[in-house]
Chains A and B, each alone.
Chain A
Amino acid sequence: MEKVEKDHAALAEEFIKDEERVDWHDGALWWIRQKRDMAAKNIPEWEALREAASQIKNNVLSNLHDYLLEFEANVTKNGIKVHWAADAEEHNAIVYSILKEKGIEQMVKSKSMLTEECHLNEYLIERGIDVINSDLGEYIQQLDNEPPSHIVLPCIHKRKEEIGEIFHEHLGTEKGVSDPTTLTRFARRHLRNVFVTRRAALTGVNFAVAETGEYVVCTNEGNADMGAHLSEVQIASMGIEKIIPQKKHLGIFLRLLARSATGQPITIYSSHFKKPRKGQEMHLILVDMGRSRQLGRPDFRDSLKCIRCGSCMNTCPVYRKSGGLSYHNTVAGPIGAILAPNLDMRKHADLPFASTLCGSCSNVCPVKINIHEQLYKWRQVIVQEGYAANTKVLGIKAMAWTLSSPTSYSTIGKAGRWVLNNIPFAVNNKFNPWYRQRDMPDSPKESFGEWYAKHGKDEVK
């Protein structure tokens, strides 16, 4: 595991240095949240759809073993080769062996958070295989050597002038060109050439239907299809939790997904892959990567219901103001913060604390995951297991003692008021991070308890 040098708070501090950027980022994501609301309000049965989606996913988790067997049997019958991978290393080795057997040295890849989690690109590049991400946002992030900052909008943290500069440096566009249409057209021409020359294409999977052995890939750009239908070898990578029982359930999920993600009624392309085309070879890799372990944690297994719409990120006040890269995890935001500790609790111990617990994420989640409650529960697990930062542990212990008896509560309260009123510099200084971005209100002279002792008996009857 790579070492994380900075935690969420430290990385967020870098992001918020550019106030104009933060305001733009905050506003852009909030606008997407508003578009989601408008789309949801157009569907009178929206809440019933969310409930049905949640129940279908509960059923999937409760019967995943049998659904995986059913799916595997049907996929195989359809002429697609099924592989199983326990972890990133095994997944990447399978992809590499498929390409190597065909003597393929170049691959085009559409959006797949799973392969980001597995660091597939780095693995293949080290072995002499060239990989190009074809989703425009992911392509920009790849050129800039950065991971995506949002699962649906990979470069939402970048301004168009920066993207223009990246295109100028890597693709030779004219310096200073930053018009989104001009840059998109340029990328279109450039990547068209990639699509027609690649013999192998890899896609992610949004939904995998146990009943029919087909899988559905949703995009707006058409990049997954451009790669897949021109390739001689097509590979799909999916987490084992992406299964849904029956085809008719797609009606529920496809009605929810794009409306929750961007406010669109459906993604432009919802591609149903079932069999290879003539002369083509298809592979499907079922990946565990900690999912079976998360399934065994009753408090956290609901996180596996996620359909990766990103609505919890768009609505989260902490995500909007700290940027996705500050989460130092492939999936950022509230959902990332409840998925990541399962993979590596020490490395991601800070993430469940990067939240106000306001609950907005749970309110917009199309499959009704209790995200904010899980954030709260992860905090408890992380402190109990000894992974919380020392300052946090000390603070929590001090608070626990303070609240443990009326005497200690009133003593600490009195002391606190005295300090704030008489020697505020003792706490309001550069060594106390709490004060860095905050102004505190004036402290009252007495507590409510003291006031009540003086006035209560006479004035309150």
Chain B
Amino acid sequence: MSTRERILADVLKNQPSASPLPDMSAFKGGNQDVVATYCEVFTGIGGKAFRVKSFAEIKHRIAEQFDTAQRIITSLPELSDSFERLSIDIDPHTFDDVDVAVIEAELAVAENGAVWLPEQRMGQRIVPYICQHLAVVIPAERIVPTLHEAYAKIGAGDYGFAAFIGGPSKTADIEQALVLGAHGPISMSVFVLGQGTTPNSVASY
């Protein structure tokens, strides 16, 4: 008998009698102002939230916050006149010197501040982790109250990799002292794009 067969046989022999799955229909968010909640929670976990009206404003904010002489990459066509359009074909190691990466999220969750990023929106999987500073654009109408609404929208999802990212990389491993920027980005900014300015196309990969 192979290991696989033996483990499966032991599990089958030892598992208890059937126990039903719970009804999850009661789990959902309230009627709060999801944009305000999102910004408050995200700020609370060490991120910077900006409510903006246009991509021009986003460009302006990025130039204001970061050193534009450093390498700034983006997967957004709306920003590729100002920043380097990231390539999906090059070796991921070549992103090691990226200072700022600007990408767009598919969803954001008000109650925990996280944004949902399938790999198509990252450009490459390593991008939101390897940059020194991460900037994410989220159209306001794509903010949902809780993870339950988020997973309902995500469904099966057509991705090979995706992640919730909620704030700059952090550690408190040394004496519980909070340090932002463990291995991933030292800072994370989110630009909440007001209604009526939603891009009609995002990265067309």
**Residues in chain A within 8 A of chain B (CB atoms):** 28, 31-32, 45, 48-49, 51-52, 55-56, 58-59, 61-65, 68-69, 78, 84-86, 90, 134-137, 140, 153-156, 159-160, 163, 180-181, 183-185, 188, 191-192, 195-196, 212, 220-223, 225-226, 228-230, 240, 245, 247-252, 254-255, 262, 264-277, 286, 288, 292-293, 295-296, 298, 301
Contacts and interface: CB of A to CB of B under 8 A. Distances in A.
B16 A84 contact: no
B137 interface: no
Contacts of B172: 153, 262
Interface of B: 2-4, 6-8, 10-22, 24, 26-27, 41, 45, 92-93, 96, 109, 111-114, 119, 124-126, 129-130, 146-148, 150-152, 154, 156-157, 159-177, 179, 181-185
A255 B159 CA distance: 22
Contacts of B154: 247
Contact of B129 (A84, A229, A240, A288): A229
Contacts of A270: 114, 163-164, 166
A183 B184 contact: no
B11 A301 contact: no
Given A265-B113, A275-B160, A220 B171 contact: yes
Nearest to B96: A196
Contact of B160 (A65, A134, A268, A277): A277
B147 A250 contact: yes
Given A65-B8, A255-B146, A136 B171 contact: yes
B6 A86 contact: yes
Contacts of B17: 62
A101 to B, nearest CB: 19
Contacts of B45: 264-265, 268
B129 A226 contact: yes
B161 A248 contact: no
A68 B179 CA distance: 39
Given A48-B26, A64-B11, A248-B148, A269 B164 contact: yes
Given A222-B129, A248-B151, A274-B160, A180 B15 contact: no
Contacts of A272: 157, 159, 161-163
5 contacts: A65-B12, A221-B182, A225-B125, A251-B24, A277-B160
A230 B92 contact: yes
A248 B175 contact: no
Contact of A64 (B15, B129, B175, B184): B15
B68 to A, nearest CB: 23
A411 B152 CA distance: 69
A159 B175 contact: yes
Given A49-B27, A90-B3, A268-B168, A155 B22 contact: no
A180 B27 contact: no
A251 B161 contact: no
A265 B41 CA distance: 9
Contacts of B185: 222
Contacts of B157: 212, 272
B182 A222 contact: yes
Contacts of B96: 192, 196
A135 B25 CA distance: 37
Contact of B174 (A56, A59, A180, A264): A180
Nearest to A282: B160
A121 to B, nearest CB: 18
A188 B21 CA distance: 43
B7 A192 contact: no
A247 B162 CA distance: 13
A266 B114 contact: yes
Given A86-B3, A255-B146, A270-B164, A63 B184 contact: no
Nearest to A193: B96
B22 A52 contact: yes
Contact of A276 (B19, B160, B183): B160
A408 B126 CA distance: 73
A59 B19 CA distance: 5
Nearest to A141: B173
Residue of A64, A225, A288 ringed by the most chain B CB atoms within 10 A = A225
Given A61-B16, A273-B161, A288-B10, 13 more contacts: A31-B176, A52-B22, A52-B27, A137-B171, A160-B175, A212-B156, A221-B169, A268-B45, A270-B114, A270-B164, A271-B162, A272-B163, A277-B125
Contact of A229 (B125, B147, B152, B177): B125
B146 A251 contact: yes
A51 to B, nearest CB: 7
A246 B28 CA distance: 17
A63 B18 contact: yes
Contacts of A271: 161-163
Contacts of B150: 251
A254 B14 CA distance: 28
Contacts of A269: 129, 163-166, 169, 184
A221 B151 contact: no
